[in-house]
Chain A
C-alpha cells in the first residue's frame, strides 16, 4: 500500500473504526460490480460510515484531499451507477435505522440504507405501505431508489419514487449538510428535492429521507389475460388505459419470458403456448371494484384474449405475481449473464416497437425476452448470454444499441427507471442537444464544482467541456 493510500486509510479509520474500512483486494472484489453485467471497476477503498455525522466527516476528508467518491446502496443498480474506478466507495448499508413512522401524517423518516422491503414490513402494522416497488425490493435500498428515481410494477397508478419523497437531508460533495423539501409543510422555493431525486449519486449523499406512505387499499383484484399475438395484448393495454380506469399495475410478458418462468421453480401457471400474457391489477375501495374488473376483462376479450383468469384468493394472486416478480431470476438461470434493458416508448407505439425488437433479435441471433411495465410503455428487453464469449457479447451489445435507437426514433427515451449510469452514457447525445447537456452539467457543478461525486456518470464529460468553453463569458 503506498503512503498516501495508507494515510487515507488511517484517517478514515479514525472516523469509522478499522472494521469499516476495506482495503484488501479480497474485500474490494465484493464492490467491483453492480447489477450490470460485463463491467468491473476496482475501488481505491471502501468505507462504511455508521451515522450521518460519519458520512459528513468522511465526505469532508475526501474533499480536503481532492479524492473522488461513489455512494453505494445495495449495488443492485442496472446501469453501472455504483461502479467506482479508483474512487472511494461510501457504502451506506449500515445506515438502516427507521427513525420514525408518523401514521397520522403518513410519513416515515428513514436512513438511506434501509431496504425497500423492510420499510414495507415496518409500516404494514399501521395499515400503510410505501408504493414504489422495484422488483429488486428485497435487496435495494431507499437511498438507491432515491438516487435512481426507481419505479416498479405499481408505479402506473401510484407514481415513481419522485412522487413519494417529501424531504431529504443531503451531504453535499464538500461535506456540508443541507435540507431539501419539507416533511411538515408544502415546500417553498425551488424543487431541490425533485432535482436531487434521480441524480445518481452525482449531487451528494442522501443521509435522511422522509418517505410518504399510503393506506393499504381496501381490496385488490388481479387478472391474467393470455393472447395469441403480442399485438393483441398491446391493443388491450391501450383499450384499458382509454377507459379511465387506472389499474394499479398492467404488466406484459412475452412467450420467451413465459416459457423461462414456467420452466423454473417460480412457475406461476402461465399458459406456455400464449404469445403474451397481461397481468392487470386494480385496487381501492371494494365497492365498484368488480365493475372495473368486468370492464378490463371485456377490453382484453375485445382485443382477442383467448382466456381471462381472475385470481380467486390471495394465494392465487401471489402465485400470478410470483412469475412476474421472479422473471428476471428465471431468465438469469438460462445463461451465465442477463442484460436487463430499460427504455420507454409512447404507449401507442408498443405493437410497433415489440415487432422491431423481435426483428432485431432475430437478425443478431440473440434471444430477447420482454417482461415489462406495459401500462407506462416502459420496456425491459432482456438478453440472456455468456459475457465471457466476446463474439456473443459483441452481438448482444449491437442488438441492444439498435433497440435503444428504435425506441428513441419512436419518440421514447433510453431509460424509464434504471438510470443512465455508465451503460447509457453513449445515448445521451442521441437524446439531448449540446446546450441541454451543458445545462445539466452546469447544474451538476452547483452541487459538485470539482466533479468528485460519482465522476464520469450520467452526462458525457465532453458535453461539460463544451459548455465551459462556449457559455462562460
Chain B
C-alpha cells in the first residue's frame, strides 16, 4: 500500500527498470479513455489529504487521492467551492478529475478543468518527482507542464498533488427548467438565446430521457443555473420566460446530472462549432435512434457546442463499428470516455502525432504508464 510520494515514486522507478506496465488507479470510479488498460495497479487513491488551504488566497493544494467531496466539505465551511463538476461517482478523486480533464456544465461560465489548475506534482515514468506551476493564481515560470499533464490521463506521469483555484460561493444559486413547444424546430427554440440578457452559470439542453431520469420534466428542455446577487438572478429568471415555461428545480439537480450514466453505458463527447449546435445535436439523436439506442441520456452545452452522450448499446460487433464511427457528424470531433473493449479498435488515436509521441517517449521512456489509454496503439509508441 503506497502512502507517500516517495513510495509511489519508488514503485514507478522499479516498474520503469523492469518495463512492467502500471495502471494508475484513483478512486477507481472513473471512466476509461482507451482499451481497458492492463498492468499492476498503482494506487494513488490512498494518497489523500488537503495539504494547504488558506481561504483568503482562494487556492487549495491537495494530494491526488483526495475526493471531490472532501474538498467540497472543506471549502464550503468558508463559503467557497471548487467549480469542477465532471461526470463522476461519489469517491472520485481530484487527481483523476485533472488527469481526465472531463468538463461538466460549469465549464460554460467558470472555465474548463485546464483553467482551474495552478500547479501539479507528478511522478514521471522514470520515477522522478517533479513539480510545475505553483500555488499562486498567476504564474509563467518555466514551461507549462501543468497544462501538459491536465487531460493526459496519467500517460505522461502520475499526478500526486495539485493546487487549484477556488471561488467564493455566489450569494444566490438557483436552477430552472425551461420547457417549450416540441413541435417547433430546435433552431427556432434556441434562437431567442442569442439576444437574451442572461449570464448563466450553466445552461444545458437535456434529452427527454435525461430530463425524465432527473425527474425534472418529461420532454426535451433546458436546464439553467443562475447565480450572483439577488437582483441580477431575479431579472434573469424573468428573461428566461422568452424561451418557454420556466419552473424552478433544486440546484442539486446539477449534482444528480453528473452521476447519471448507467453502468455499462457508452459515453462520448461530440463537439463542433457553437453555431452548428443544433445540427450536431440532431445528428447525434438520429444516429442513436438509427442504432436502436432507446432512451439515451444526452445533454448539450449549447454555447460551447458540446453534446454529451450516455447510451446503452446492446448490438453485436459489426454494428458497433458503425455506431462508433458514425457518432460525430462531418467536421465535428468525438472523444470517447467509455466503450466496450471491442469498440476501441474503431477509435483513432488522439496522441499519434509526432509531438505527442515524442512527449510520451521523453516522460515515460519505458512506456509503462496507463498503456492503451487515449487510443494510443502499441505500434505507434514502439517506433
Contacts and interface: CB of A to CB of B under 8 A. Distances in A.
A198 B232 CA distance: 37
B215 interface: no
Interface in B25-61: 54-59
B374 A288 contact: no
Interface stretch (B66-74, B139-147, B244-252, B338-346): B139-147
B273 A184 contact: yes
B333 interface: yes
Q: Which of A149, A188, A289, A427 gathers most chain B CB within 10 Å?
A: A188
A418 B305 CA distance: 33
B191 interface: no
A288 B229 contact: yes
B350 A194 contact: no
Contacts of A419: 140
Interface stretch (B126-134, B216-224, B287-295): B126-134
Interface string B201-233: 000000000000000000000000000111111
Contacts of B170: 244
B363 A442 contact: yes
A21 B144 CA distance: 33
Nearest to A203: B143
B374 to A, nearest CB: 6
B156 interface: yes
A160 interface: yes
A66 interface: no
Interface in B243-284: 269, 271-275
B139 A413 contact: yes
A446 B358 contact: yes
Given A191-B147, A440-B145, A446-B359, A435 B350 contact: no
A163 B199 contact: no
Interface in A263-310: 284-289, 291-292, 295
A240 to B, nearest CB: 10
Contacts of A162: 115, 144, 147
A195 B148 contact: yes
Contact of A195 (B56, B143, B351, B353): B143
B144 A347 contact: no
A118 interface: no
Interface stretch (A26-34, A372-380, A386-394): A372-380
Given A288-B232, A436-B130, A445-B362, A243 B168 contact: yes
Given A242-B56, A285-B235, A105 B274 contact: yes
A411 B169 CA distance: 25
Nearest to B128: A435
A129 to B, nearest CB: 16
Contacts of B365: 473
Contacts of B198: 285
Contacts of A437: 142
Given A149-B140, A376-B137, A288 B145 contact: no
A202 B144 CA distance: 12
B56 A347 contact: yes
Contacts of A471: 126, 128
Interface in B342-383: 350-351, 353-356, 358-359, 361-363, 365, 374
Interface string A401-412: 000000000011
A286 to B, nearest CB: 8
A304 B117 CA distance: 34
B261 to A, nearest CB: 18
A222 interface: no
Interface string B146-170: 0110111000100000000001111
Contacts of B142: 420, 428, 431-432, 436-437, 440, 458-459
B128 A417 contact: no
Contact of A160 (B56, B138, B236, B275): B138
Contact of A416 (B114, B140, B199): B140
Contact of A188 (B236, B350, B362): B350
Contacts of A199: 143-144
B273 A190 contact: no
A458 B141 CA distance: 8
Interface string A19-57: 000000000000000000000000000000000000000
A155 interface: yes
A96 interface: no
Contact of B131 (A241, A244, A432, A442): A432
Contacts, number: 245
B76 to A, nearest CB: 13
Contacts of A195: 143-145, 147-148
A100 interface: no
A192 B355 contact: yes
Interface string B293-316: 000000000001110000000000
A125 interface: no
A104 interface: yes
Nearest to B134: A413
A190 B356 contact: yes
A186 B332 CA distance: 9
A218 B272 CA distance: 27
Nearest to B138: A416
B197 interface: yes
Nearest to A431: B141
B136 A344 contact: yes
Given A199-B143, A446-B362, A288 B235 contact: yes
A160 B129 CA distance: 28
A198 B144 CA distance: 7
Q: Which of A151, A160, A428 gathers most chain B CB within 10 Å?
A: A160
Nearest to B353: A178
B171 interface: yes
B111 A163 contact: yes
Contacts of B139: 344, 413, 415-416
B115 A436 contact: no
A202 B142 CA distance: 11
B97 interface: no
B235 to A, nearest CB: 4
A199 B147 CA distance: 12
A458 B143 CA distance: 8
A390 to B, nearest CB: 29
B79 interface: yes
Contacts of A238: 56
B231 A288 contact: yes
Contact of B363 (A178, A180, A198, A439): A439
Nearest 4 Cβ contacts at the A-B interface: A288-B232, A194-B147, A189-B350, A244-B168
23 contacts: A148-B140, A162-B147, A188-B334, A188-B350, A195-B144, A242-B55, A246-B167, A288-B233, A291-B232, A292-B229, A346-B136, A347-B57, A347-B58, A411-B136, A413-B134, A413-B141, A420-B141, A431-B134, A431-B142, A437-B142, A440-B143, A443-B362, A473-B365
Interface of A: 102, 104-106, 148-149, 151, 155, 159-160, 162-163, 172, 176, 178, 180, 182, 184-192, 194-195, 197-199, 202-203, 218, 238, 241-244, 246, 284-289, 291-292, 295, 344-348, 373, 376-378, 411-420, 424, 427-428, 431-433, 435-440, 442-447, 458-459, 471, 473
Interface of B: 54-59, 79, 101, 111, 114-115, 124, 126, 128-132, 134-145, 147-148, 150-152, 156, 167-171, 197-199, 228-233, 235-236, 269, 271-275, 304-306, 331-335, 350-351, 353-356, 358-359, 361-363, 365, 374
Given A427-B141, A473-B365, 9 more contacts: A190-B148, A190-B151, A199-B143, A242-B55, A285-B236, A348-B56, A432-B141, A436-B132, A459-B142
